[in-house]
A and B are shown apart, each in its own frame.
Chain A
Amino acid sequence: MNILFIRSIEGRILAGITMFVGMMILVGWVAINEEARMQSFVRQHTGRSIERGAELFASLCSECHGEEGYGAGDRAPGLNNPHLFGFDPVGLQTAAITNANRALVRLNKEIDSLLAELTDAQNPPTEERQNEILAAIAELEAQVEEQDIAINAAVTERTAILETLDTAVENDLFPLWDTIVDIEQTGDNEVEVFFNTNGTRLAQVGWAGDLHGYVVTTLIHGRPGSARVYPNSTGMAAWSQTAGGPLRQDQIEDLAAYILNWDKGENWTTEDFIAVAQYGKPLADGSLPSEPPPPPAGDNVLGIMQRWELEEVVGSAVSGEMLYDQEFGCTDCHRDGASAPDTIGTATRIRNERLTLPQFADYTIEQYIVESITRPGDYVVDGYSSGLMPVNFGLRMTDQQLADIVAYLLTQE
């Protein structure tokens, strides 16, 4: 071991300097590669952000917006949607027609001026010049013809695309159109009218910022009143913690990264338009729903029990199961007993293990379940962490929904 100790002073100085210089060279080498490393880190991190966003989308958003982001009729608009990303299905053709028309104006001007020179009575051109002008006009007219052909081709293409989309509209694939423009009266191609009046989703809602800002804002604040616009939905909730929802800001950004990753840029196709199941509707017109939605159950356990008795609320285990599994996603945690007590055997356990505890002496089994759902922090079963279960279920469920879930859990022996 003592061999490691270089015995001569020069040796040690030399070794020290060598190592120091070696280290500086290494650090320098790392430094000149930093730019590339940092860029690749950003790429990698964006990829992972999209992955996390995909996970959040599948578990929180796909129920309404569809697993593949196409939306659901009268429930939620599609996000895998060229219209959202501002893609004009006939944009290329329209541009081609506009360009050709501009060229035509220019060519006709040139022809006119040549003709004027040719027929100028005061300054008649020489014979040589006349021949020149006639040749030039012939060439320009050939160009005019070329542009005409181009326009015809673009118009044909454009009409074909619009026809395809229009057929889709007629087959009711776009539940949106008829709510926006009164097509019947104008007699125009519906899709064309739509794109003339509603260009992109951002223009439609009058959003001044960019798409990222629009998506993030919608995720944070939700869409107050959207339940009135989409009758099959319960409305887009505020998802961000800043607005009282469950998601952190970084999760909002992950979701936005995932949603924006649907953008195909210039490569959207007519099929993509047809695949969308629900387009974004314009803002609500301000009319109120005929019946106000039922109030949430809240977290006053005894109050809830009393109301149930007075209003004769009876739960249905069948709809309770659906609410439990899907609407409120209880089985996401209550599935195998690892992070939360298993759903299977809930009723048995409560009866045999919980209600025998002194603090639950005067509880009914229903009351225990209601308390566990609306005030999860009051008692946590040994072996599980407190604070994991969200505390706002009481505010998200109506009395009837709560009763349905209780009825369902009572069947879990």
Chain B
Amino acid sequence: MTILPFPSFLDDVKEKGFKKAVFEGIDDSVERLTAGLNVQDLREAFRGETASRRPNPRLTPHADGFWLHMRPSYFNRDVTGMYPSFRLGWLSSYFVWFETITGILLMLWYTPSPEIAYGDMLTILSNVPLGQLMRDMHRLGAEFMVAVVAMHMMRTWITGSYKKPRQFTWFTGLLLLVITGFLSFSGYLLPWDQLSLWAVTIGASMAEATPVVGDQVNLLLRGAPELGANGLLRFYLLHVLALPALLFVFFGVHYYKVVIHGHSLPPQKENIGEDTAKRVPLDKRVYFIPDMLTYEMMWLGATTFIITVLCIWFYHAPLENHADPQVTPLGTTAPWYFLWIQGALKLGDKFFWGVAFPTIALGGLALLPYLDVTPSRRYAHRRFMLTIASLLISVTTILSYMGLAKFAVQTSAETEIVHELTFEPAHSKVGVGRTIPFDQMIVGAYTTAQMHHHDDMSANDMIAEINAEVLANGQFAQMIQELKDQHVGANQLPLRFRTIPAAEAPTLMRVMEAFAHHLEAEPNELPNVWGSLVITDNQAGLKRLDWVVSWDSVLIEGGEVQLDDNDDPILVYSDQVDAEGNPIPVRRIYSDHLFIHEASAYFD
């Protein structure tokens, strides 16, 4: 006879008393939630005691529960330490979830449209609490993930873990590496700033080099000949839908294979040609509950803590100006993990180095376990493969270095120098010219010629001498004309150089020293050079900084300065002659300018 018309908790209370019924109820619920462990079992597990019940309840969640059915119930003690795995596989999985969670949060404020996307980034930074932190974390996590997955692959190579029976595991891992790269790359475009547009333009242009179908592939990817609304939408869908779907599928296959074959042991721990990963002696078993579970919880806390610290104090995701297909920034590079392809492209043929070479490299990696079939995983027996591995690392590093903008790209020295001083914030760096505090931007024209200081002369006398010289030889007039051409207001044009006010404006002084230093480093390309910084008022709270370089023109052929027999650069002379009948070299001038508002705070 039940109290209610159906069996209920109240019957238990009637039968056993309230306290006992409640405790048993809780115990029962916990056992169902954990798929096998009751309160007592959990207490014993987390106290490090042996299980008092038989059969061992700690194995039940692996057999009955969904979440743990894909995790092994015990590991070999030899694979639970730092070596041989370095936790890289675990970290890779960690970042998959980390990126998914932070990515979903960012998605809430993002619209994939060229008109809105950049504004959305600004909203995330200016109007979403914790928005900046979330974006920093997602971006840093992405960079880490690419690095971690790549290192995971190299670790597998070095310990020979791809050998039989794990060949296919290696292959799915390689697919995951490629997917990770493309995930990161497709996310690169979404902020729709100059950095993303141009990095992706460079990356996507490699697809163009594919023979026969290159144009079609390119069109399919970008949605138009140039990246625009369609391209952004396609990259967005790739980033949030297609690639994650693929990633999760192959992640499942990969991990399933890992569990099926067991984690491979350190090479020296098993006999040559044997695979004992699945035969774990009783004394070597480390059970998932409680040991691995607590390890993983600890690592989860530690890794997230470290990323949080990094994102608060050390790393902020870059956001440059709005994407502008009309303005190519100087020194554009692909994302760092594609730099090796960009470097290879500088070696020659676009098709061979841009398409064939990466394909061959990846194909070679995919085939690796089927080519390297020697049974031994011992380091001493794998000298050849280890050499190849170090070669791969070295070549990738060198190619990546070659991919940097500073390597073998012909830009004239004056452009390069002024860019170096004025570039907008990118990758947590900013041109020093922008770091002059607003109150140190004292209106006037300053010259680097002042740095060639005679010890016996005061700075003021020095400037007087320089002024006399440049006013007489027309170089100053040339600068004024250049400033006029660049729309400096007529009332603002300087009449002569001023002495740098080193006492009131120490940062200005340092920037001018850096400017002079850069110019002096190019004696061949920029002979008899002086640089000038002309600071003018533009509006309340807004200054204009014009950077001028003036030098004698030299003969340049094929990007190389031509030298005479004395190793001096060959100057280009004009038709005119000076008072003594000597020809006058053609004087060249270059300028660029920037505006600085006092609230921009580049100098913080």
List the interface of chain A (C-beta within 8 A of B).
1-2, 4-6, 8-10, 12-13, 15-20, 22-23, 26-27, 30-31, 34-35, 37-38, 40-48, 50-52, 54-55, 58-59, 62-63, 66-68, 80, 248-251, 258, 261-262, 264, 325, 336, 338-339, 385-388
Known A20-B305, A41-B126; 11 more pairs at CB < 8 Å: A20-B301, A38-B125, A45-B125, A47-B600, A50-B539, A51-B595, A52-B595, A54-B595, A248-B322, A336-B415, A387-B225
Binary contact readout B86-108 vs A (1 if CB under 8 angstroms, 0 otherwise): 00000000000000000000000
A264: chain B residues within 8 A (beta carbon)? 540
Q: Is A5's CB under 8 angstroms from B83's CB?
A: no
Q: Is B80's CB under 8 angstroms from A19's CB?
A: no
- Any chain A CB within 8 A of the CB of B437? no
8 closest Cβ pairs, A-B complex: A47-B599, A19-B301, A47-B597, A67-B489, A1-B82, A47-B600, A54-B595, A16-B298
B126, B489, B542: the one contacting A38 at CB < 8 Å is B126
Q: A336-B412, A339-B328 are known contacts. Are A67 and B540 too (CB-CB below 8 A)?
A: no
- Any chain A CB within 8 A of the CB of B212? no
How many chain B residues sit at the interface, stated as a range, is 35 or more
Complex Cα–Cα for A170 and B308 (A): 68
By beta carbon, the residue of chain B nearest A49 is B597
B82, B126, B542: the one contacting A5 at CB < 8 Å is B82
Q: Is B46's CB under 8 angstroms from A5's CB?
A: no
Binary contact readout B303-318 vs A (1 if CB under 8 angstroms, 0 otherwise): 0110011001000000
Q: A48-B597, A388-B326 are known contacts. Are A19 and B48 too (CB-CB below 8 A)?
A: no
Q: Is B308's CB under 8 angstroms from A26's CB?
A: yes
Q: A1-B83, A55-B595, A387-B325 are known contacts. Are A9 and B600 too (CB-CB below 8 A)?
A: no
B298: chain A residues within 8 A (beta carbon)? 6, 12-13, 15-16, 19
Q: How far is the CB of B450 from chain A (nearest CB, A)?
A: 27
Complex Cα–Cα for A17 and B304 (A): 12
B322: chain A residues within 8 A (beta carbon)? 248, 250-251
By beta carbon, the residue of chain A nearest B226 is A387
Which of B17-25, B238-246, B288-296 has 4 or more CB atoms under 8 Å from chain A? B288-296
Q: How far is the CB of A269 from chain B (nearest CB, A)?
A: 13
Complex Cα–Cα for A43 and B438 (A): 15
A-B contact pairs, 13 of them (CB 8 A): A5-B82, A5-B295, A16-B298, A16-B300, A30-B130, A38-B125, A45-B125, A45-B126, A50-B597, A249-B115, A261-B540, A336-B415, A338-B411
Q: How far is the CB of B6 from chain A (nearest CB, A)?
A: 42
Q: Is A48's CB under 8 angstroms from B491's CB?
A: no
Q: Is A44's CB under 8 angstroms from B544's CB?
A: no
Q: How far is the CB of A46 from chain B (nearest CB, A)?
A: 6
Q: Is B130's CB under 8 angstroms from A31's CB?
A: yes
Q: Is B542's CB under 8 angstroms from A54's CB?
A: yes
B127, B291, B601: the one contacting A44 at CB < 8 Å is B601
By beta carbon, the residue of chain A nearest B304 is A23
Complex Cα–Cα for A45 and B122 (A): 9
Q: Is B82's CB under 8 angstroms from A2's CB?
A: yes
By beta carbon, the residue of chain A nearest B599 is A47
B491: chain A residues within 8 A (beta carbon)? 68
Q: How far is the CB of B196 from chain A (nearest CB, A)?
A: 15
B46, B130, B321: the one contacting A34 at CB < 8 Å is B130
- Any chain A CB within 8 A of the CB of B302? yes
A20, A47, A385: the one contacting B598 at CB < 8 Å is A47
Q: Is B415's CB under 8 angstroms from A5's CB?
A: no
Q: Is A12's CB under 8 angstroms from B294's CB?
A: yes
Q: Is B415's CB under 8 angstroms from A338's CB?
A: yes
Q: Is A15's CB under 8 angstroms from B302's CB?
A: yes
Within 8 A of A (CB), among B213-231: 225-226
Complex Cα–Cα for A18 and B490 (A): 64
Q: Is B294's CB under 8 angstroms from A16's CB?
A: yes
Complex Cα–Cα for A258 and B539 (A): 9
Q: A12-B294, A338-B411, A388-B326 are known contacts. Are A58 and B486 too (CB-CB below 8 A)?
A: yes
A26: chain B residues within 8 A (beta carbon)? 305, 308-309, 312
By beta carbon, the residue of chain A nearest B133 is A30
Q: Is B600's CB under 8 angstroms from A51's CB?
A: yes
By beta carbon, the residue of chain B nearest A249 is B115
- Any chain A CB within 8 A of the CB of B119? yes
By beta carbon, the residue of chain B nearest A68 is B489
Complex Cα–Cα for A278 and B48 (A): 87
Q: A54-B544, A62-B487 are known contacts. Are A23 and B48 too (CB-CB below 8 A)?
A: no
Complex Cα–Cα for A44 and B319 (A): 13
A249: chain B residues within 8 A (beta carbon)? 115
Complex Cα–Cα for A62 and B489 (A): 9
Interface centre among A50, A248, A338 (most CB of B within 10 A): A50
Q: Is A44's CB under 8 angstroms from B304's CB?
A: no
Q: How far is the CB of B268 from chain A (nearest CB, A)?
A: 16
By beta carbon, the residue of chain A nearest B537 is A68
- Any chain A CB within 8 A of the CB of B38? no
- Any chain A CB within 8 A of the CB of B509? no
Q: How far is the CB of B589 from chain A (nearest CB, A)?
A: 12
Q: A9-B290, A23-B308, A59-B487 are known contacts. Are A2 and B81 too (CB-CB below 8 A)?
A: yes
Q: A62-B487, A261-B539 are known contacts. Are A44 and B599 too (CB-CB below 8 A)?
A: yes
B118: chain A residues within 8 A (beta carbon)? 250
Complex Cα–Cα for A22 and B126 (A): 26
A387: chain B residues within 8 A (beta carbon)? 225-226, 325
By beta carbon, the residue of chain A nearest B290 is A9
Q: A15-B301, A16-B298, A19-B298 are known contacts. Are A27 and B82 too (CB-CB below 8 A)?
A: no
Q: A2-B81, A15-B302, A62-B487 are known contacts. Are A51 and B596 too (CB-CB below 8 A)?
A: yes
Q: Is A19's CB under 8 angstroms from B304's CB?
A: yes
Within 8 A of A (CB), among B577-604: 590, 593-601
- Any chain A CB within 8 A of the CB of B524? no
By beta carbon, the residue of chain A nearest B590 is A336
B487: chain A residues within 8 A (beta carbon)? 58-59, 62-63, 67
Complex Cα–Cα for A20 and B307 (A): 12
By beta carbon, the residue of chain B nearest A263 is B540
- Any chain A CB within 8 A of the CB of B297? yes
- Any chain A CB within 8 A of the CB of B129? yes
A15: chain B residues within 8 A (beta carbon)? 298, 301-302
Complex Cα–Cα for A339 and B415 (A): 12
By beta carbon, the residue of chain B nearest A385 is B328
Q: How far is the CB of B109 from chain A (nearest CB, A)?
A: 13
- Any chain A CB within 8 A of the CB of B488? yes
Complex Cα–Cα for A30 and B313 (A): 11
A51: chain B residues within 8 A (beta carbon)? 542, 594-597, 600
- Any chain A CB within 8 A of the CB of B440? no
Complex Cα–Cα for A52 and B193 (A): 14
Complex Cα–Cα for A9 and B50 (A): 13
Complex Cα–Cα for A246 and B304 (A): 46
By beta carbon, the residue of chain B nearest A4 is B82
- Any chain A CB within 8 A of the CB of B76? no
Q: Is B599's CB under 8 angstroms from A262's CB?
A: no
B312: chain A residues within 8 A (beta carbon)? 26, 30
Q: Is B542's CB under 8 angstroms from A386's CB?
A: no
Q: Is B81's CB under 8 angstroms from A16's CB?
A: no
Complex Cα–Cα for A338 and B491 (A): 32
Complex Cα–Cα for A16 and B290 (A): 14
Complex Cα–Cα for A262 and B412 (A): 37
- Any chain A CB within 8 A of the CB of B269? no
- Any chain A CB within 8 A of the CB of B132? yes
Complex Cα–Cα for A264 and B540 (A): 8
Complex Cα–Cα for A251 and B326 (A): 13
A42: chain B residues within 8 A (beta carbon)? 126
B125: chain A residues within 8 A (beta carbon)? 38, 41, 45
Complex Cα–Cα for A12 and B298 (A): 6
Complex Cα–Cα for A34 and B544 (A): 32
Q: Is A27's CB under 8 angstroms from B308's CB?
A: yes
Q: How far is the CB of B535 from chain A (nearest CB, A)?
A: 14
Q: Is A9's CB under 8 angstroms from B83's CB?
A: no
Complex Cα–Cα for A295 and B129 (A): 55
Q: Is A17's CB under 8 angstroms from B301's CB?
A: yes
B122: chain A residues within 8 A (beta carbon)? 45
Q: How far is the CB of B98 from chain A (nearest CB, A)?
A: 13
